[in-house]
């Protein structure tokens, strides 16, 4: 089932070669004729590649030919990159005030030498492609074009909530009754839920976990995604984090045990251990012994696909989750494929849908995936393509990838296939943030847009929302700071199967040229690194336990991987970066997160003009940023953690390409740099856990491109200072704003909000202990779609005019006792102001 992606990669290279930018480059460097030869040969081979991909399973020789062509396309892409890097180098040369000094810093080749060197490389690439083209004749291939993609007629920016679950009411009530039943004895009752992959075990557990009666019955609720690796220490860390929010990853087992006992001591808790695979009874007994400190009446639910796991863990007979009935499957499918009531206008499609649902055999994930796929098209032929696909005829074992998932994947546009397949590099159940994923796609050149001047971050967000809407991703947390996603393990299996020639994820080894590698030194020995790393583009190296010499290993990998675009070294116990990192001219994403012993970055890192993302989050030891950081002219995202009281103002404010700037856990930082207004392209600003920060710079009000502003847990920050009350601008662009954990704040800052009254779509306020009212001008936020208010104990009423905010679709209120009483449905004094909001939740009411 593995995909070659040769057709897609060749198309991307041809698109670049045919662009106006490369027309200019080819003329400037005198390589136009060679570029034209490249385009013609690439196009001739690509014309027959679709036929070759369909036939390659029958011929090893054809499969190898396709691999050679794909490698050649990557090689040409690397050549194209060299021209881009040279252009960036020349921009830097122009920037330097002392040209001689800058030239010495970048000591690169002169233009004449570069022209001759690149001319020779392009000539050799042409010769290689000609050889590949000459061989295609013996395979008797025919020209074919893509025909099976269902194109989206409209973009979707939302996903189906658990409220859309159908057919599990009886199962939910049965489990709730078991949880509420009193129990005798000291042993904690454990109820296993057993069923095949994708049938809805996790969804059922979530429904029970979030039920109001369950919330009120248990003092503590804990959710843990277990995964295949049943590591006791990691499970303790996860349990503590779910219960308390504490991150205890640096503690040893004895310390973790004490924290866990303190956490559970005397409390009636409910715990869900989701997706358990462990069949080792000793390990299970060890974990259960650690959970014995809770009060009488504590309960545990375990979800698993494996009957033996249920036998080992369960003290109550397992609950066997049955397939959804055909009627419930059809209801779920129609709810996803159509808007409410729309199916009545399409009897022909409903009949086809009935046939599709029958083939899903009661598996909820299959129904959900195909319903999400078809929601965008009303073309009968598109629906018939799904119903009549040959994939349904494949022999299917219980743990095989569902044909429905592969079918939905086959109907993705090629650019989404590549992005999806890349995600197989993550381990199963890995939770990834929007920012991380988009930066990785961007670094690997996956983001292509038909629209001129569309920002890469916007393209990436569009791709992500598309995969989310088609159920390839699941939303874990909609947090405004760092919303997170994950892949269902069956979907992850699918991603691995289509990307296995290029990705090494954990213990899944590839036989081809590895391009994306996840390597965890706490689980794998350095000797297990693949031998062939010359094509490596992404490296994720982890060494949390500090078992290996990370620095020498990184240096070795860099020496063998000249084309790295992503270097992810978070949690690697590094003290410094190897010197040879300066040779990674194509490096676009560098993550050094949680390497607390790094004190400074070598200035040679500023030689990386292609670098787009630099993450220093959790690098508390950093004393200063490199003095020549201004030469990182492509840098779009910077995350900083520091214990310093001040930042070098001229070192960040000169990074004028920045789109995202994050200050996280800068506990001693008292002031941001004043000339922040120089960052005219900045779109996202996060200031989180900067407890000594006392004020924001005036220039903040001049960032007219700013779309997201998050200020959280800044205890000394004063947002009401008069000097920030600047002239009232009406050209603001703020779309999302979150303010919380700012005890001094008594009223929302007018200087932030009024300028973006027409653009603000989401407002989150929380942990504001002195906020007593929302301003009267709140009614002017005419574009507001989501309002979230949490833990504001003095807030006692909603402002007048809220009923006029017709765009408001979601209102959630939590831990605001006074306000919650006024918002009770029908009877609350403030209910008339919010009765029009379709998605309303208040923790003091039963209505959701």
Give the C-alpha separation, 645 to 823, whole Å.
Answer: 44
Q: Confirm if 327 and 364 have CB atoms less than 8 A apart.
A: no
Residue whose structure tokens are 């590698």: 517
DSSP state of 323: P
CA 606 to chain centroid: 27
Kind and range of the H or E run holding 739: strand 736-740
Give the C-alpha separation, 346 to 755, whole Å.
Answer: 46
Predicted pLDDT at 192? 94
Give the C-alpha separation, 20 to 22, whole Å.
Answer: 5
DSSP state of 553: H
Backbone phi, psi, residue 212, to 5°: -60, -40
pTM value?
Answer: 0.79
Which pair of structure tokens corresponds to residue 841? 């939740």
CA nearest neighbour of 51 among 182, 120, 139: 139
The CA-atom distances, in angstroms, between 603 and each of 16, 48, 576, 630 are 32, 48, 12, 11
Give the C-alpha separation, 607 to 106, whole Å.
Answer: 7
Angle (CA) 457-661-557 rounded to 5° is 75
Give the C-alpha separation, 568 to 541, whole Å.
Answer: 6
User: Which stretches of the chain drop beneath a pLDDT of 50?
Assistant: 1, 97-108, 148-160, 162, 398-399, 507, 509-511, 721-728, 845-848
* DSSP labels, 560-612: H-TT--EEE-TT---SS--GGGGG-TT--EEE-TT-TT--B--GGGGG-TT--
DSSP state of 92: H
């Amino acid at each position: 089932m593995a995909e070659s992606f040769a057709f897609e990669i060749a198309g991307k290279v041809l698109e670049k070669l045919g662009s106006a930018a490369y027309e200019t480059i080819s003329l400037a460097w005198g390589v136009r004729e060679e570029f034209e030869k490249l385009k013609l040969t690439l196009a001739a081979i690509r014309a027959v590649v679709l036929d070759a991909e369909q036939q390659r399973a029958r011929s090893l020789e054809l499969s190898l030919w396709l691999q050679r062509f794909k490698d050649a396309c990557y090689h040409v892409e690397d050549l194209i990159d060299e021209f881009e890097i040279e252009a960036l180098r020349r921009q830097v040369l122009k920037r330097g005030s002392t040209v001689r000094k800058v030239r010495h810093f970048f000591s690169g080749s002169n233009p004449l030498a570069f022209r001759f060197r690149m001319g020779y490389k392009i000539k050799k690439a042409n010769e290689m492609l000609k050889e590949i083209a000459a061989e295609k004749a013996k395979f008797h291939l025919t020209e074919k074009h893509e025909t099976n993609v269902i194109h989206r007629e409209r973009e979707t920016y939302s996903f189906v909530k658990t409220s859309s679950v159908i057919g599990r009411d009886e199962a939910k009530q049965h489990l709730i009754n078991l949880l509420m039943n009193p129990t005798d004895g000291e042993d904690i009752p454990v109820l296993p839920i057993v069923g095949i992959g994708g049938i809805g075990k996790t969804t059922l557990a979530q429904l029970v976990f979030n039920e109001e009666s369950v919330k009120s019955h248990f003092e503590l609720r804990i959710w843990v995604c277990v995964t295949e690796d049943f590591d006791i220490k990691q499970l303790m860390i996860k349990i503590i984090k779910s219960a308390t929010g504490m991150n205890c990853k640096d503690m040893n087992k004895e310390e973790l045990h004490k924290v866990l006992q303190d956490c559970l001591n005397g409390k009636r808790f409910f715990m869900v251990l989701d997706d358990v695979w462990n069949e080792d009874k000793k390990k299970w007994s060890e974990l259960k012994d650690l959970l014995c400190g809770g009060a009488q009446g504590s309960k545990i639910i375990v979800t698993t696909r494996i009957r033996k796991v249920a036998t080992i863990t369960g003290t109550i007979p397992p609950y066997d989750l049955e397939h959804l009935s055909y009627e419930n499957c059809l209801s779920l499918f129609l709810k996803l494929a159509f808007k409410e009531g729309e199916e009545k206008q399409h009897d022909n499609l409903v009949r086809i849908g009935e046939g599709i649902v029958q083939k899903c055999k009661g598996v909820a994930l299959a129904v959900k995936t195909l319903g999400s796929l078809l929601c965008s098209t009303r073309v009968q032929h598109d629906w018939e393509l799904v119903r009549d696909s040959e994939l349904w005829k494949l022999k299917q074992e219980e743990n095989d990838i569902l044909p429905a998932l592969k079918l939905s994947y086959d109907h993705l546009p090629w650019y989404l296939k590549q992005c999806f397949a890349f995600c197989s590099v993550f381990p199963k159940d890995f939770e990834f943030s929007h920012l991380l994923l988009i930066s990785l796609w961007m670094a690997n050149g996956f983001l292509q847009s038909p629209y001129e001047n569309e920002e890469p971050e916007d393209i990436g967000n569009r791709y992500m929302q598309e995969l989310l809407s088609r159920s390839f991703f699941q939303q874990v947390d909609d947090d405004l700071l760092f919303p997170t996603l994950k892949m269902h393990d069956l979907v992850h299996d699918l991603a691995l199967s289509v990307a296995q020639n290029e990705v090494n994820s954990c213990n899944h080894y590839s036989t081809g040229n590895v391009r994306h590698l996840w390597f965890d030194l706490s689980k794998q020995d350095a000797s297990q690194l693949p031998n062939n790393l010359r094509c490596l583009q992404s490296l994720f190296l982890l060494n949390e336990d500090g078992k290996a010499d990370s620095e020498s290993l990184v240096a070795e990998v860099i020496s063998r991987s000249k084309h790295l675009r992503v270097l992810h070294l978070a949690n690697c116990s590094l003290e410094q970066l190897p010197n040879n990192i300066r040779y990674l001219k194509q490096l676009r994403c560098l993550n050094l997160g949680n390497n607390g012993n790094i004190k400074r970055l070598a200035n040679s890192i500023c030689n990386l003009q292609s670098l787009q993302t630099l993450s220093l989050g959790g690098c508390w030891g950093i004393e200063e940023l490199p003095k020549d950081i201004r030469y990182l002219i492509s840098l779009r995202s910077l995350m900083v953690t520091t214990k310093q009281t001040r930042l070098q103002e001229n070192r960040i404010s000169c990074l004028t390409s920045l789109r995202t700037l994050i200050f996280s856990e800068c506990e001693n930082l008292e002031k941001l740099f004043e000339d922040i207004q120089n960052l005219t392209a900045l779109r996202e600003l996060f200031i989180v856990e900067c407890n000594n920060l006392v004020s924001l710079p005036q220039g903040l009000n001049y960032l007219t491109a700013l779309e997201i502003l998050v200020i959280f847990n800044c205890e000394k920050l004063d947002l009401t200072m008069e000097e920030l009350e600047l002239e009232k601008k009406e050209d603001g662009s703020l779309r999302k704003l979150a303010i919380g954990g700012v005890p001094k704040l008594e009223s929302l800052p007018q200087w932030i909000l009024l300028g973006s009254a027409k653009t603000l779509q989401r407002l989150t306020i929380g942990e504001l202990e002195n906020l007593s009212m929302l301003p009267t001008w709140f009614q002017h936020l005419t574009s507001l779609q989501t309002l979230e208010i949490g833990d504001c104990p003095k807030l006692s009423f909603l402002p007048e005019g809220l009923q006029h905010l017709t765009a408001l679709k979601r209102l959630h209120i939590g831990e605001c006792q006074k306000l919650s009483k006024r918002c009770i449905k029908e009877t609350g004094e403030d209910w008339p102001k919010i009765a029009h909001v379709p998605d309303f939740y208040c923790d003091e009411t039963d209505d959701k």
